[in-house]
């Protein structure tokens, strides 16, 4: 996959294009992307995904401190690369860019700069100033600028149409199995290992505290069985998300800590990735540290059993 930062001086053969945020690059997105790749093969063109950075909501909405997304830009790049597309065009999203009328975007960028020959859009796609561009708008513009247009229906699940919003809601509610099923892969997060209070070590379960990228969605509080990827390889781990209420009775600060099983290396300052395999339980307040240590031993046994 070739990554283009912007749309200047592109050289793409008969571009077959789709565009969107693609937060999560989930199963619903994959239907669209697979259609894109197939049409490119059928027409002798190259597949092109257009996305935007930063996320448009971070630019358009004034209050965005609580916004959280399924994928960082780097994660999105990796998922799109694995999907098998030829080109990824990343457009810088700014306040000025957000004010471009829909038809101007189609004419100036899709038609003239990228040279779109075939455009594929999702069932609910909107774009342009105030999201004024819909399928009918694009259809009118496509006739003016001589490219073909196709709309792909949304992929349905038991809960309805698969969407990034439904997956975010599932993760926030602790419904990890549902979220992973809708994603089509196991949710993950990455971050740097930072100094903690080292209380886990005193209980016999040393943990690595993870600092994630801003606006990366953190699943519901609780304990999870995870796969941990480090520079030294992949390991089994049990991860806790929450405020450690047994230890910090009055401290509501949320933390992410992972106990990497059978691992004793110093990884402070390193980046690691945790892949969520199973939610083991809710966060619990125990009456004593001994009770907490006993439960952590049970969590460890459950984690080992899962990975065995």
pTM of the predicted model, to two decimals? 0.90
Torsion angles phi and psi, residue 260, rounded to 5: -90, 120
pLDDT higher than 70, residue 285: yes
Query: Which residues make beta-bridge pairs with 210?
Result: 193
Count the helix, strand and coil residues of the chain and give each as a percent rounded to the nearest 5.
35, 30, 40
Backbone CA torsion sign across 89, 95, 101, 102: positive
Place of tokens 């009118």: 140
List the single range of 66-75, 151-160, 195-204 with lowest mean pLDDT.
195-204
Residues 174 and 300: their CA atoms lie apart, in Å, by 19
Q: What is the CA radius of gyration of the chain?
A: 22
pLDDT band at 249 (very low <50, low <70, confident <90, very high): low
Which residue would you say has higher pLDDT here, 101 or 14? 14
List the single range of 126-130, 154-158, 165-169 with lowest mean pLDDT.
126-130
Average of per-residue pLDDT values in the chain: 89
Domain ranges of the chain: 2-161, 187-307
**Mean pLDDT, range 251-265, rounded to an integer:** 87
pLDDT higher than 70, residue 129: no
Burial class for 150, CB neighbours closer than 10 Å (0-12, 13-18, 19+): middle
pLDDT band at 152 (very low <50, low <70, confident <90, very high): confident
196 near 210, Cβ under 8 Å? no
pLDDT higher than 70, residue 128: no
The CATH fold assigned to 2-161 is: Rossmann fold (3.40.50)
Of the CATH numbers 1.10.10.60, 2.40.30.30, 3.20.110.20, 3.30.70.580, which one belongs to the domain with range 187-307?
Answer: 2.40.30.30
If residue 183 lies in a helix (H) or strand (E), which one and from where to where? Answer: helix 176-183
DSSP class of residue 222?
E
Which residue would you say has higher pLDDT here, 128 or 169? 169
**Mean pLDDT, range 276-284, rounded to an integer:** 95
pLDDT band at 226 (very low <50, low <70, confident <90, very high): very high
pLDDT higher than 80, residue 154: no
Place of tokens 């099983």: 261
């Amino acid at each position: 996959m070739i990554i283009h930062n912007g749309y200047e001086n592109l050289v793409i053969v008969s571009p077959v294009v789709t565009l969107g945020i693609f937060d999560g690059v989930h199963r619903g997105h994959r239907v669209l992307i697979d259609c894109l790749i197939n049409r490119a093969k059928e027409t002798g063109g190259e597949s092109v995904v257009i996305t935007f950075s930063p996320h448009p909501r971070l630019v358009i909405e004034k209050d965005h401190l609580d916004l959280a997304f399924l994928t960082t830009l780097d994660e999105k790049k990796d998922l799109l690369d694995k999907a098998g597309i030829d080109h990824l065009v990343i457009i810088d999203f700014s306040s000025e860019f957000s004010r471009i009328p829909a038809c101007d975007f189609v004419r100036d960028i899709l038609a003239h700069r990228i040279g779109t020959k075939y455009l594929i859009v999702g069932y609910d796609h909107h774009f342009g100033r105030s999201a004024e561009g819909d399928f009918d708008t694009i259809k009118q513009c496509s006739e003016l600028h001589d490219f073909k247009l196709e709309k792909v229906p949304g992929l349905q699940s038991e809960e309805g149409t698969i969407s990034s919003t439904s997956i975010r809601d599932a993760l926030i509610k602790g419904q990890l199995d549902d979220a992973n099923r809708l994603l089509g892969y196991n949710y993950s997060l990455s971050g740097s290992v930072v100094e903690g209070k080292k209380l886990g070590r005193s209980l016999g379960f040393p943990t690595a505290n993870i600092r994630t990228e801003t606006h990366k969605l953190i699943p519901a509080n609780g304990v999870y069985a995870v796969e941990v990827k480090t520079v030294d390889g992949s390991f089994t781990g049990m991860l806790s998300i929450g405020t450690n209420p047994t230890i910090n009775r009055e401290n509501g600060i949320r933390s992410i800590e992972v106990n990497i099983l059978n691992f004793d290396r110093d990884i402070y300052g390193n980046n690691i990735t945790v892949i969520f395999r199973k939610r083991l339980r809710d966060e619990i307040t125990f009456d004593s540290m001994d009770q907490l240590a006993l439960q952590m031993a049970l969590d460890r046994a459950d984690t080992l059993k899962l990975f065995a």
